[in-house]
Chains A and B, each alone.
Chain A
Amino acid sequence: MEKRHLGKFLLLAVLLFIAVVFAILNGPVRIPFKELFLEGNRQILYLRLLRVLLAAITGSGLAVSGAALQAILRNPLAEPYLLGTSSGAGLGAVLAIITGLSSFFLPAVSFLGALVSMVFVYYLSKRGNRIPVESFILSGVIVSLLCSAVIAFLVSVSPNEALHGVVWWLWGSLQMYDVKLLLIAAAIVIPSMAILYVFSQDLNAVSIGEEDALHLGIKIEKIKKIIFFLTSLITAGLVCVSGVIGFVGLILPHITRLWVGPNHRVLLPASCLLGAVFMIVCDLLARTVYAPFEVPIGVITACVGAPVFIVLMKNRQRGK
Chain B
Amino acid sequence: MINIDKETVAKYLFCHPEGGHIPLRYAGQYKTFFLIVLFFLMFFFSPAAKAKSLRIISLAPATTEILFALGLDEEIVGVSSFCDYPEKALSREKAGSFSRPNMEKIISLKPDIIFCTGLEQSGTVVELRRLGLNVFVSDPASMDELYASIREIGLRTGKTREAENIIRGMAEEIEEVKSLQKNAPPGKKPKVFVEIWQSPLMTAGKGSYLDELLRLAGGENIAYDTVRPYCYFSAEQVIKRDPDCIFLTYMDNTDPLQKVGRRFGWEHVSAVRNKRVYNDIDANLILRPGPRAAQGVRELYKRLYP
Contact = CB atoms under 8 A, between A and B. Distances in A.
Interface of A: 27-29, 31, 41, 43-44, 47-48, 103-104, 159, 161-162, 164-165, 168-169, 173, 175, 177-178, 287, 291-294
Given A162-B119, A164-B120, A177-B130, 14 more contacts: A28-B104, A44-B107, A47-B103, A47-B107, A161-B119, A161-B230, A162-B120, A165-B123, A177-B103, A287-B102, A292-B105, A293-B96, A293-B100, A294-B96
A173 B130 CA distance: 18
8 contacts: A31-B108, A47-B107, A175-B103, A292-B96, A292-B102, A293-B96, A293-B97, A294-B102
A27 B104 contact: yes
Contact of A43 (B100, B127, B131, B228): B131
B198 interface: no
B138 interface: no
A294 B107 contact: no
B122 interface: yes
Contacts of A161: 119-120, 230
Given A291-B102, A293-B96, A43 B107 contact: yes
B123 A292 contact: no
Nearest to B81: A293
A28 B122 contact: no
In the A-B complex, the 5 residue pairs with the smallest Cβ-Cβ separation, listed nearest first, are A292-B102, A159-B228, A29-B108, A161-B119, A292-B105
B227 A159 contact: yes
Contacts of B105: 28-29, 291-292
A283 to B, nearest CB: 12
Interface string B91-125: 00011110110111101100000000001101100
B48 to A, nearest CB: 17
A178 B130 contact: yes
A46 to B, nearest CB: 9
B201 interface: no
A31 to B, nearest CB: 8
A177 B122 contact: no
Contacts of A41: 108
Nearest to B124: A165
Of A164, A175, A291, most B-chain CB atoms within 10 Å: A175
Contacts of B104: 27-29, 44, 47-48, 287
Most buried by B among A47, A169, A178, A292: A292
B131 A177 contact: yes
B126 interface: yes
Interface of B: 81, 94-97, 99-100, 102-105, 107-108, 119-120, 122-123, 126-127, 130-131, 227-228, 230
Contact of A165 (B81, B94, B102, B120): B120
Contacts of A293: 81, 94, 96-97, 100, 102
Contacts of B99: 165, 168
A178 B128 CA distance: 11
A292 B107 contact: no
A161 B207 CA distance: 14
B63 to A, nearest CB: 17
A294 B103 CA distance: 11
B126 A103 contact: yes
Given A178-B130, A292-B94, A293-B102, A103 B123 contact: yes
Contacts of A28: 102, 104-105
Nearest to A167: B99
Nearest to B230: A161
Contacts of B81: 293
B108 A177 contact: no
A270 B227 CA distance: 55
A177 B127 contact: yes
Contacts of B126: 103-104
Contacts of B107: 29, 43-44, 47
A103 B94 CA distance: 26
A293 B119 CA distance: 20
Contacts of A27: 104
A175 B123 CA distance: 11
Contacts of A175: 100, 103, 127
B122 A165 contact: yes
B229 to A, nearest CB: 8
Contacts of A103: 122-123, 126
Contacts of B131: 43, 47, 177
B236 to A, nearest CB: 19
A36 to B, nearest CB: 11
A50 to B, nearest CB: 10
A201 to B, nearest CB: 43
A162 B122 contact: yes
B90 to A, nearest CB: 15
A175 B127 CA distance: 10
